[in-house]
Structure 1
Amino acid sequence: MSTAAHSHPNFMSCLPIKSIFGSWRERESQQTNLMNVASRSSSLRSAFSYCVQQVRNYDYHNYLCLLELPPKMRKPAFALRAFNVETAKAMDIASDPKIGLMRLLWWQETIDKIYADKPVQQPVAEALSSVISEHKISKLWLKRSVEARIKDAQREASDIPETINELEQYAEDTQSTILYMSLQSGGIRSTEADHAASHIGKASGLLLLIRSLPYHAARHRHFAYIPSSIAAKHGLLINHRGRTEISMDSHGALCDAVLRWLPVANAHLQKARELAKTVPIEAVPVLLPAVPAQVLLDSLSRVKFDVLDPRLARGVLGVPPLWFQLKLKWYSWRGKY
């Protein structure tokens, strides 16, 4: 071996032991961090995929609306809609109303945890946490939405709303808030857009409550979503074992009662469209739920306001799916809602 080789000791022997193990630890730490990032990224992708599937399964007309959003706005919008699905169906899927209420209370606590940066192992909550962190979504709207659901879940069957204004407020708290947050996640700050979102949410909420009347009646909710002021005028209020309920026996009276709702929902849609010229163009895709609201309004008119007509359960809000999608595409292409 040459003298040069003898004159230079092994490179590793020149390094202090602490330095050697320190570099290994750094590399191991970096690898661990990369693995954690990859794992979180994979988990987040799964969470958003779950959100999309939930909206598709339980809120199909809004699923189609969200597909018309710009790509960068879809993820937060799907997370928010999935949250709405979770809270909306909490009472419906529970075998016991107490279990459904517990689920809503869990969501109320979960919102607090998310804003306190505490991890929650649930797909929709995970996606929501990411959206809130990235887009600074207002906690007020999320809390208002779930609290409205909790208040509704705590109602007795005989606790009937007195006026349609109470149902409008419920629609505002559960439907309009989703649109407010979707606008917020898209960085859209516009009073006009918020006003339009308020009217569209109210119209959508009122019409969906009408459409759900047969379902709630089948679950012995006694048509509790018909205001007592309207029910009384059409002879639908009865006294059953000392408790005031709404009867479903008079088919014609039920249709007449529903007819009283529709002008209110239609007025909200018209007010939203009157604002269209002042709404920023980037807000228009968020406001597309006005289209399915109009479709449902037209479907109810077509069956002469008979919520028990089986045609309302066909297709998308009572119309063929392809026709609905073409209508939605047409509005989206024209930049209208």
Structure 2
Amino acid sequence: MMFSRTIRCVFSRERGKVVIMTNARFKSKTTSFPAEYCMDLVRQTDHEAFLCTLLLPDNVRTIAFAVRAFNSEVARVGDVASNSTIAQMRLTFWKESVDKIYSDCPPEHPIAKEIHRALSKHKLSKPYFSRLVTSRISQNTTRGFPTIEAMEKYAENSVSPVFYLILQAAGVQDVNIDHAASHLGKAIGITNSLRSVPFIVSKSNPDLLPIPVSTLVSHNVSTEAILRGGNDSFKDVTFEIASQAKLHLDKAKSLSKKLPRSKFPIFLPIVPVSGFLKRLQKANFNLFDPTLRLRDNYLPLKLYWAKVWSTC
């Protein structure tokens, strides 16, 4: 069985790993081609999303990369900015850029230019782009989550709009599918928060920990204990949060079955988030287990298999 022309995967006999090869020739960030810039940014910042997007239909793939590049750009502001004030300024730039894009005056930035170009072919809702930015602005000022409900709301606002926009680009208009996208966004957002904990701990900044305070209190876990590498009680915290992500993931799986076969690849991100939650369970919900930071070298094969059989 042959792979699609977009992505080829081969096995290394020496190490038994899957090597990802694409037909695209990626250029540096100075590339003058907005579409290539968007694709390259997603490849560098979100490996799993990059692989999933490669397997989208031809008529959706380019705009999907633009949407994901926009989200990656605003999502990493907090990581690349030296302080919250500068982060706020950069997020404000993107908030204003959305207004300019929809006013036919996009700023001289490849992501903005590519989204503006896409608007001539696709009807994409401005509020979804705005939510991707405002959710980050809010989180940049408040930090952390008081409750798991607040964590879910942030996940819905910072991830789900990506799927809403891609569904719009694909011409999918269905309330049930939108619900599936909402649940998948929550599952990914919650899971991403968990995955970020070891990185934040390495920076020794308890203010950035994305673990709901109410959940920590109910399990009598202090931020100091997390900064020291966690304990058995923190595993219970992780289990509770991961279980919430799993509930949303299962709901997304169930609702996504109503998608037409040709549109199913939009929900391929179900595969990597499901894989991480399974590995987390195998690690006994120890977020600091080093195996959780390893890349799944067989993910390209799993994604292609899921696409062919239209099932996750």
- Does the alignment reach a TM-score above 0.5? yes
Give the partner amino acid of 1:273. K
Map residues 39-118 of structure 1 onto 2, 5 A cutoff: 46-118=33-105
Is 1:218 the counterpart of 2:198? The answer is: no
Give the equivalent residue in structure 1 for 2:260. Answer: 280
SS in 2 for 1:48: helix
1:225-304 correspondence runs (5 A) = 225-237=210-222, 247-249=226-228, 250-304=230-284
Alpha-carbon displacement from aligned partner over 1:240-293 (angstroms, at most 9, x marks no partner): xxxxx8743342222221011111111111111222342233331111111111
Higher percent of residues as helix: 1
Aligned to 2:302: 327
CA gap 1:44/1:184 in 2 versus in 1, 3 angstroms: farther
Q: Distance in 1 between matches of 2:254 and 2:83?
A: 44
Q: Report if the CA contact (8 A) 1:161-1:227 is conserved.
A: yes
Cα distance in 1, alignment partners of residues 178 and 226 from structure 2: 38
Residues 200 and 268 of structure 1 are in contact (CA less than 8 Å); yes or no, is this contact kept in structure 2? yes
Matched-pair identity in %: 35
Q: Please report how far the alpha carbon of residue 44 of structure 1 lies from its aligned counterpart in structure 2 after TM superposition.
A: 10
CA drift of 1:45 comes to: 7.1
- Structure 1 stretches of 4+ with a deviation exceeding 4 A read none
Runs of at least 5 residues in structure 2 that lack an aligned partner in the other structure:
1-29
State the Cα deviation string for residues 166-217 of structure 1 (Å, max 9, x = none): 1111111111110000000111111121111111111011001100011122
In structure 2, distance between residues paired with 1:149 and 1:288: 25
CA distance in 1, matches of 2:32, 2:147: 44
Give the total of aligned pairs: 281
**Counterparts of residues 160-199 of structure 1 (less than 5 Å):** 160-199=144-183
CA distance in 1, matches of 2:176, 2:263: 10
Q: Is residue 201–residue 226 contact of structure 2 (8 Å, CA) maintained in 1?
A: no
Q: Choose 296-305 or 108-117, whichever is displaced more.
A: 296-305
What amino acid does structure 2 have at the position aligned with 1:336? T
2-side partners of 1:254 and 1:117: how far apart?
Answer: 50
Q: 1:277-333 deviations in whole A, cap 9, x for unaligned?
A: 422333311111111110111111121111112211111xxx3x1x11111111111
TM-score, L = length of structure 2: 0.85
1:207 corresponds to: 191
Quick check: 1:190–1:280 contact (8 Å CA) kept in 2? no
- Unaligned stretches of 5+ residues in structure 1: 1-42, 239-244
